[in-house]
Amino acid sequence: METNFYNTPGKHKGILAWVLSTDHKRIGLLYLSCMTAFFLTGMTLGLLMRLELIAPGRTLMAASTYNALFTLHGVIMIFLFIIPGIPAALGNFMLPLQIGAQDVSFPRLNLMSWWFYIIGAAVAITSLFTGGGAPDTGWTFYVPYSIRTGTNVSLAVFGVFLMGISSTLTGLNFVTTIHRLRAPGMSWFRMPLFVWSIYATGWVQLLATPVIAITLLMLMAERFFGIGFFDPAKGGDPILFEHLFWIYSHPAVYIMILPAMGAVSEIIPVFARRTIFGYKAIAFSSLGIALFGYLVWGHHMFTSGMSDEARMIFSLLTFLVAVPSGIKVFNWVASLYKGSIRLDTPFLYIMAFIFLFSIGGLTGLVQGALATNVHVHGTYFIVAHFHYVMFGGTVFAFIAALHYWFPKMSGRMYHEGRARIAALALFIGFNTLYFPMFVLGWQGMPRRYYDYLPHYQPLHVVSTVGSWILATGILLMLYNLFRSLRTGEKAGDNPWGGTTLEWKTSSPPPVENFEKIPEVTTGPYHYQ
Amino acid sequence: MNDSTQTAVQHRDYAGAKLGMWLFLFTEILLFGGLFLVYSVYRSMYPEDFHEAAAGLSVVLGTVNTVILLTSSLTMALAISALQRGNTRQSVLLQGATIVLGLVFLVNKYFEWSGHIHEGIFPNAPELLARSHGQVQFYGLYYVMTGLHGLHVVAGLALIGIMLSLTIRQRITREDNGKLENAGLYWHLVDLIWIYLFPLFYLIT
């Protein structure tokens, strides 16, 4: 049997060979398996919420339970799943392979990041069952309610703080790795675009996450010592918390979406058999998004109380972010022109991505404009918008990348037929679930409400039915991948005919990634 | 899989380790940046209150601590250059001196804090809440910022302690002293943050 990183014995045995491994591939898979578990948990919570909303009034649970559910759904999906997301799972696995390195710059720090993540996740989950009960503040932990509520906010916030450390250190590790460990001949403009996106993401993780760390520390200090930073009775300002929170949490949106865009840029050339159109434009637009992403946090607070000047400037900057995002979309579509397109599952998800992300992006502009923002702020419109961007965008790209790199990670092919059916179910279920929310929001249905007026019910029912279709699709997709781990055909080194370095080694790769570190002489997408 | 020997050799990347450390220092600055931001907001909201509240802090103690911390940065820098010249013994002594100075800083801080707490000036204390809003914010910031800085001093001391033991055991040597240099960078950052805290709290009356 061929040696690969699974069957090469290391220092430890059994489970310890994983949780104490400094191999970036094993750490990537650790993240991936934990995130899958958390995603399924978050999905179950979401299903329960949708079920509660199928009819007005009490259906399944008490109002306070519902509050806890949407908080958990948000905290789990955002902090435990989508922020570590593509960089920590697929980035860990693929980044060193794509730049022709043996590992990341700091392998032990990488392992430590995973431990911070998993301990943070454990702390956050413990907070649900201990103290005053599950937090009910929403994932944004807005003051003053988060200071006053008797639920277990402090512990949940501490868990998020630990996961923040994990995210920062991962970003630090990746930025250093990309600077230092590229294979001979791999200049900056010969890097795959996924690496560019991880690089931009790494900077955002480094420069934004500390701000949420200190914000959460301040929140904890408020709860324990009553200092009064955010308490008007003591001269503090609750709006300041919102500013600090969004100074991180808006850039965090780009931590979520940039790597997804990188994955899209990776998959399109391979399935169109054509070099990417506008390589440099896509690379620089990643940096552009990372940069502008810092300066737009105020658009989350248009109705919170800010001067008109500030609101107009934030609105303008928000429109400017759309420019680099648009550059990417146009370049992706242009890359398909005169390509020889293969409609395999990864590409199907990419097409879904472009469609859904465009809807999500354009409805973002509706909210970036001040006049319309006031109308749709805090309604289902925003819920629909960010699910289109985060789920329709990031998660669809994540799933695409998962199928694309599945043969490299496992050495086997997934079942194509089942994968396509799952993709279709996901696409239909997704739109059935979230599109009605745009309409509901436009009609005035507020987000986070437990109850609603009867005339909203038809669309709520459609949405709930959509959640069942979507969940079925996800379960089928996961079942297919897990089953293919055992029964899939052998994939070979390069089943897709990819040209980036990860396809130049065996599947799964050996411990040291490459028999011999490759020499790079061309750009990443070198198709004749 | 764990092939520690090979990765250890491969990753003795001096420039990479330095780059990583500088990036980490960036994140530390941003961590404090959040608090400096809050400080600037409340300072501009309550300039007079801040002015009055600062009179309650002892400039003497603050100055002494500044001198101590600056000196400790000097001894740390000298410890590194001593090792680079191959003088391990001197380096060990200077690292020890840095730790002692750091501890003296913390002891001073302890007396300073307990003095205030004794007077009833601490977060949520009735004595403090009876004062103006700006004073409440000033002392809130004072405790949180110098407290977080104090935690960084403790972390720095632990780090230098580890470096000291590695130097004694010849694991940090003239040829391979990147770890010590990085610990020095961290210590300078702790110093640097204090350089900003000192005028913002003690010298604004």
Is the distance from CB of B167 to CB of B95 less than 8 angstroms? yes
Give me the residue from A21, A210, A226 closest to B124, CB to CB.
Answer: A226
> What stretches of A226-278 show up as alpha helix (H) in DSSP?
238-272
Interface of A with B in 48-87 (CB under 8 A): none
Of A319, A320, A350, which Cα lies nearest the Cα of A332? A350
What average pLDDT values come out for chain A (528 residues) when binned by 10 residues? 82 89 95 96 96 94 91 93 94 96 95 97 90 87 90 93 96 96 95 96 94 95 93 93 93 94 96 94 93 91 91 93 92 93 95 96 93 93 96 96 96 96 97 97 94 96 97 97 94 93 93 91 86
> The tokens 């632990």 sit on which residue?
B158
Tokens of A239: 């709006």
Interface of A with B in 154-213 (CB under 8 A): 168, 172-173, 175-176, 179-181, 206-211, 213
- Interface test with chain A among B23, B121, B128, by most A beta carbons within 10 Å: B23
- Residues of B with a Cβ under 8 Å from any A Cβ are 1-4, 6-7, 10-11, 13, 15-16, 19-20, 23-24, 26-28, 30-35, 37-38, 41-42, 45-46, 123-124, 129, 132-134, 136-137, 140-141, 143-144, 148
Chain B touched by A17 (CB under 8 Å): yes
| Contacts within 8 Å (CB) and 24+ apart, A419-423 | A419/A345, A419/A477, A419/A480, A420/A345, A420/A348, A421/A476, A422/A473, A422/A474, A422/A476, A422/A477, A422/A480, A423/A345, A423/A348, A423/A349, A423/A352, A423/A473, A423/A477
Give me the residue from A8, A218, A237 closest to B1, CB to CB.
Answer: A8
Predicted local distance difference test score (pLDDT) of residue A1:
53
Chain B touched by A231 (CB under 8 Å): no
Predicted local distance difference test score (pLDDT) of residue B151:
97
Chain B touched by A510 (CB under 8 Å): no
B133 Cβ partners below 8 Å, 6+ apart?
A: A234, A235, B46, B49
Q: Do A240 and B41 touch (CB under 8 A)?
A: yes
Predicted local distance difference test score (pLDDT) of residue A2:
73
Give me the residue from B1, B19, B34 closest to A180, CB to CB.
Answer: B19
Provide, as residue numbers in chain B, all residues whose Cβ is less than 8 Å from the Cβ of A211.
30-31, 33-34
C-alpha span between A370 and A275 (Å, rounded): 40
> What stretches of B85-132 show up as alpha helix (H) in DSSP?
88-118, 126-129
Please, which pLDDT band fits residue B1 given cuts at 50, 70 and 90? very low
Of A477, A467, A489, which Cα lies nearest the Cα of A42? A467
Is the distance from CB of A121 to CB of A75 less than 8 angstroms? no
C-alpha span between B26 and B20 (Å, rounded): 10
Give me the residue from B3, B35, B123 closest to A214, CB to CB.
Answer: B35
B81 Cβ partners below 8 Å, 6+ apart?
A: none
* DSSP output for A206-240: HHHHHHHHHHHHHHHHHHHH---TT-GGGT--HHH
What is the CA angle A58-A60-A65, rounded to 5? 85
The type of residue at A183 is A
Q: Do A218 and B144 touch (CB under 8 A)?
A: yes
Domains of chain B, earliest start first: 15-202 (1.20.120.80)
B137 Cβ partners below 8 Å, 6+ apart?
A: A228, A229, A234, A235, A236, B42, B45, B46, B49, B50
How much is the ipTM here?
Answer: 0.91
Q: Do A23 and B38 touch (CB under 8 A)?
A: no
3-class secondary structure, A320: helix
* DSSP output for A372-430: HHHHHTTBHHHHHHHHHHIIIIIIHHHHHHHHHHHHHHHSB---HHHHHHHHHHHHHHH
C-alpha span between A515 and A471 (Å, rounded): 42
C-alpha span between A446 and A455 (Å, rounded): 14
Q: Please say if the pLDDT value at position B179 is more than 70.
A: yes
C-alpha span between A29 and A37 (Å, rounded): 12
How many of the other CB atoms lie within 10 Å of CB of A9? Answer: 10
Tell me the per-residue pLDDT of B51-104, one tens digit each, with 9 for 90 and over: 999 999 999 999 999 999 999 999 999 999 999 999 999 999 999 999 999 999
Q: What is the DSSP letter of A76?
A: I
Of B23, B46, B57, B74, which Cα lies nearest the Cα of B145? B57
Query: Burial, A397: exposed, middle or buried (Cβ in 10 Å; 0-12, 13-18, 19+)?
Result: buried
Is the C-alpha dihedral spanning B71, B73, B79, B81 positive or negative?
negative
Chain B closest-CA separation from residue A469 CA (Å): 40
Q: Which residue of A has its CA nearest to B33?
A: A211
Of A287, A318, A140, A301, which Cα lies nearest the Cα of A203? A287
Q: Do B137 and A235 touch (CB under 8 A)?
A: yes
3-class secondary structure, A496: coil
Of A154, A148, A130, A290, which Cα lies nearest the Cα of A232? A148
Tell me the per-residue pLDDT of B148-176, one tens digit each, with 9 for 90 and over: 999 999 999 999 999 999 999 999 999 88
Provide, as residue numbers in chain B, all residues whose Cβ is less than 8 Å from the Cβ of A8.
1
Cis peptide before A508 (omega within 30 of 0): yes
C-alpha span between A372 and A358 (Å, rounded): 19
To the nearest 5 percent, what fractions of chain A are helix, strand and coil? 70, 0, 30
In a 13 Å sphere around the CA of A444, the CA atoms on its Cβ side amount to: 4
Count of CB pairs separated by less than 8 Å, A with B? 134
3-class secondary structure, B175: coil
Is the distance from CB of A41 to CB of A76 less than 8 angstroms? yes
Give me the residue from A175, A225, A247 closest to B124, CB to CB.
Answer: A225
Q: Do B4 and A22 touch (CB under 8 A)?
A: yes
Is the distance from CB of A256 to CB of A83 less than 8 angstroms? yes
Q: Which residue of A has its CA nearest to B21?
A: A172
